[in-house]
Structure 1
Amino acid sequence: MIVGDSISQGLEGDYTWRYRLSQNFNKHDVLVRFVGPWAGTSVLPASQPSDYPARTAEPVYTGRYRPGIDFRDNRHYARWGRQLHEAKDNIKDAVAAYGPDYLMVELGFNDLAWGVSCPERLVADIEVFVRRARDANPDIRLLIANVVHRTPLSADPNLADIIDSYNRMLPCRLGALSTARSRIALVDLARDYDPHSDAYDGLHPNNIGEFKIARAFADVFSSAFGRGRIDFLDPVPHMTDPLPIAAPAGITVTPRGSHIAISWPHVFGASGYWLYWRDATSGKGFRRSPLPILADSLELRVQHGHAYELMVSAARGLQESPTTEITSVVLDDHDAAVASAVP
């Protein structure tokens, strides 16, 4: 059972490293069954709650994979935004329910990046995670990955040092936890994973990163549990294989008091959207939303009687689609939004 976060669940349109690993087992004619409660990738929701970001939309586990692939053995226990601090509290029930013989664990980035845990606390959570998994299956074998880096963030300049600190602590602690009955093997993802070339957004794996993560797990599985006969067969590609992202088909505007609700048809594979808007009445130029919009809609505060011009593009990490045609909107005194395309 693969236990992980967004790196393991994947986004709509990904192959995922889980697929690459499954393909490797198939090429070795090794019968492996992936287990877990979920089977899909993550998808952006239609909307976020009114108190977002304090509360986010319910996670989605039904997203599709890259068109054209056959990934039937796709069960997993990975979720976008997941933390080890949370996973340690439900791993016992999951192991009991789905009966895995092995756990492949890729967790910890969100704990460190979001300030949920310091390195010492995260290592302590690993101990609890292992103990509770063994409560359900004393013979469980585990492959536990360290934490990959992401490209630098100006808002969190110390993150790389924090990750390095945790990764230095992990091998010794896993060695102490490993037993003859329930062995633990370290998967050194951080050694080979380069967020500059292996990720489509500075963190989440592109096709190169998927191969590298799958290879790391496969080779450790082979050496620790497979008697050296299940090494990763496929060469890691040198070229990226980005999913083409289309522009949203159009914009719909609905008045909501002093706000307008702006929505657009979902774009397959989008990791977010950029809104470009300007107050045409005041003569100001277009502004772009400070961050990608993580839903197929948003609300924008406007002034009555002012004309606004809006356009939206879809994003997938650093990739951005063309924008929609410009739509002009005026909120009249009766709270009716009059929208029209700008020629």
Structure 2
Amino acid sequence: MSTDHSDEGTEGASADGAKPRFRPGPLGLAGVALAAMFVTLLLIQSFIGTFRPGGEPPEREPSPATGSPPEGTARIMVVGDSITQGSSGDYTWRYRLWKHLDEQVGADVEFVGPYNGVLDVSGDGSGSQGYADPNFDQRHAAVWGAPVKKLSEHIGEQVAEYDPHYLLLMAGVNDFVGGGNAPEALEEVRDLIRTARVVRGDLQIVLGELTPVRGTDDDKRLNRQIAEFNMALPSVAEDMTGQDSPVVVARTSAHYSAAEDNWDTTHPNARGELKIAAAFADALAGPLRLGAPYPRPLPEVPVGPQTRPKVSVAEQDADKLVLSWKRVLGATRYQVLQRRLRPDPDEQVPLLTEPTPAEDGRMSVEVDHLLSGATYEFVVRPFKGGDGGRRSRVVKVPFDADPPAAPKWVRVDDRREFLVWAAVTNATHFEVWRRPMKCAEPSDEEDPDDADGASSAAPACEPRDAKGPGKGKGWTSVAVVNGDRRWAIDTDGKPAAEFVVVSHRDYLAGGAADPVEFVVED
């Protein structure tokens, strides 16, 4: 760019009005010569490498990248994919890093970025604010399902708009899911760093290792690419480190177990979040001197949804009952456990029926094949993927359907062999009660009304009282009849007995028929 000096003073001009030519002194000439020699060396270096008199120097260990926190608030932009964004019900590793820096260390930090939500695993959109604990700085630049190249497309404008001092990047798994390989993903990481530095040359960068996957259809290939990516990441950090822009690696995959630390194939549960956050905290504190390392050993944290479902009985009839509860944040499925409490207690077992969502934001499950007259207890446990959360409190439900009516047409059959009766709606079985009748000894005197003059051998018998089982004395339960409506008469050796048939539905006693008298004949 030229500069107009026409309005400057003309003192020292020649007689013809021209300005005198600059004449350097001895020191000036020496300075010009040195400058020319330096430029020449730079030109030579650009073509043949660094000028090294006496040959190649011995190999030296690369000095670790170092940084320093800015004056005032340190702005941190976290960039990544679903592992960084998180989903409903998650704390996210961003939360755990924020809590460490802000509350445990007292660092003056601010998270920046264009987004503040997580993915709603219920399917209602990625703008969900459903954090397990929303009390932290939620801003980020992570996008569910994004490969590194997709993140690079917007990183320049994001850095320009939010002006972060630190950029934390953890991405690459989606590159492999899409068929890419580690060298390609690493080159995309380099491009992202270059693009971000065009906007801010003193950006301090932390690259997170990728965590392993488990349970996909392609575990072997994916984990091989992840391992290759992680192995090469320190070299990328060293190569991309600039004088004012250090690049360091967070050892996020160290001690990380996909079986224990993921809630599904890929995404971290609470334990995994903590391990990732601790690794980033260590990288920020060590080389970059922001904050402090995460305290060890890491605390034990519960996994799975931590909100208890509040379960109630929404409906009950003679055949079933319906349990209902409000959806639990972050739950991807529920397990309903059932146990018969009394009578005849049994083991707690999971129901095979899947709960279904309703439009009012609640879940419900229909429970059938319950036994009338029994008391059951139910527990609902929410799961996120494979991680079970806090169980509901026990709900006790007496299942008392309407008792069946008393049997009708109870009688002795024509051959005097069976007690028979009519069918009863909803009765599952019948109980037969017996009581011996009061009988007088038979008389040896001739019966005056008997034309043959024979004596009366039949005893004179009558009921003990007019009360049935449960009220009268002497009654004994002698048989349970399933799948039939007759019973072979047995007086237990007594000359006469009365019988009562009671309907049952499972454990629930129904109506009792009127007593039927039976006298044994010689």
Smaller-chain TM-score bracket: 0.5 to 0.7
Unaligned runs of 5+ residues in structure 2 are 1-76, 313-325, 336-351, 360-365, 367-380, 392-522
Per-residue CA deviation, residues 19-40 of structure 1 (Å, 9 max, x unaligned), is 1111111221111000011112
**Cα 1:141–1:318 shift into 2, 3 Å:** same
Per-residue CA deviation, residues 218-252 of structure 1 (Å, 9 max, x unaligned), is 0110011117x511136423453321575999xxx
**2:302 — aligned with what?**
240
User: Structure 2 CA distance, aligned partners of 1:318 and 1:240?
Assistant: 13
Q: For the Cα contact (< 8 Å) 1:91–1:132, is it kept in 2? A: yes
**1:193 — aligned with what?**
256
**2:213 — aligned with what?**
150
1:221 corresponds to which letter in structure 2? L
Paired residues, what number? 267
**1:303 — aligned with what?**
none
State the 1:72 CA deviation: 3.3
**1:231 — aligned with what?**
293
2:128 corresponds to which letter in structure 1? T
2:129 corresponds to which letter in structure 1? G
**Cα 1:273–1:89 shift into 2, 3 Å:** farther
Per-residue CA deviation, residues 93-145 of structure 1 (Å, 9 max, x unaligned), is 11111111100111111111232x21111111011100100011111110011
1:316 corresponds to which letter in structure 2? K
Q: For the Cα contact (< 8 Å) 1:208–1:236, is it kept in 2? A: no
Q: For the Cα contact (< 8 Å) 1:247–1:314, is it kept in 2? A: no
**1:42 — aligned with what?**
119
- Mapping for residues 34-73 of structure 1, pairs under 5 Å: 34-44=111-121, 46=123, 60-66=126-132, 69=133, 71-73=135-137
**1:15 — aligned with what?**
91
**1:75 — aligned with what?**
139
Q: Secondary structure at the match of 1:225?
A: coil
Unaligned runs of 5+ residues in structure 1 are 48-58, 250-264, 275-286, 298-308, 323-343
Q: For the Cα contact (< 8 Å) 1:248–1:267, is it kept in 2? A: no
2:242 corresponds to which letter in structure 1? T
State the 1:317 CA deviation: 1.0
User: Structure 2 CA distance, aligned partners of 1:45 and 1:272?
Assistant: 10
Q: For the Cα contact (< 8 Å) 2:206–2:280, is it kept in 1? A: yes
Q: Secondary structure at the match of 1:190?
A: coil
TM-score for the superposition, normalised by structure 1: 0.68
State the 1:153 CA deviation: 3.0
Q: For the Cα contact (< 8 Å) 1:266–1:296, is it kept in 2? A: no
Q: Secondary structure at the match of 2:275?
A: helix
Q: For the Cα contact (< 8 Å) 2:122–2:330, is it kept in 1? A: no
Q: For the Cα contact (< 8 Å) 1:3–1:106, is it kept in 2? A: yes
Per-residue CA deviation, residues 182-234 of structure 1 (Å, 9 max, x unaligned), is 1100112122221111122242222211111111000110011117x511136
**1:316 — aligned with what?**
384
Per-residue CA deviation, residues 47-67 of structure 1 (Å, 9 max, x unaligned), is 7xxxxxxxxxxx51332211x
- Mapping for residues 1-343 of structure 1, pairs under 5 Å: 1-26=77-102, 27-44=104-121, 46=123, 60-66=126-132, 69=133, 71-115=135-179, 117-226=180-289, 230-233=292-295, 235-238=297-300, 240-244=302-306, 267-271=328-332, 316-319=384-387
User: Structure 2 CA distance, aligned partners of 1:79 and 1:178?
Assistant: 26
State the 1:266 CA deviation: 6.0
User: Structure 2 CA distance, aligned partners of 1:188 and 1:235?
Assistant: 16
2:198 corresponds to which letter in structure 1? D
User: Structure 2 CA distance, aligned partners of 1:223 and 1:80?
Assistant: 29
Q: Secondary structure at the match of 1:226?
A: coil
**Cα 1:247–1:160 shift into 2, 3 Å:** farther
Per-residue CA deviation, residues 302-330 of structure 1 (Å, 9 max, x unaligned), is xxxxxxx9xxx9752114799xxxxxxxx
User: Structure 1 CA distance, aligned partners of 2:246 and 2:237?
Assistant: 9
1:209 corresponds to which letter in structure 2? G
Q: Secondary structure at the match of 1:89?
A: helix
1:233 corresponds to which letter in structure 2? P
Q: For the Cα contact (< 8 Å) 1:40–1:63, is it kept in 2? A: yes
1:240 corresponds to which letter in structure 2? P
Q: For the Cα contact (< 8 Å) 1:138–1:181, is it kept in 2? A: yes
**2:49 — aligned with what?**
none
Q: Secondary structure at the match of 1:268?
A: coil
User: Structure 2 CA distance, aligned partners of 1:248 and 1:7?
Assistant: 32
Identity of aligned residues (%): 29
User: Structure 1 CA distance, aligned partners of 2:199 and 2:105?
Assistant: 30
**Cα 1:166–1:268 shift into 2, 3 Å:** same
More helix by share: 1
State the 1:159 CA deviation: 1.5
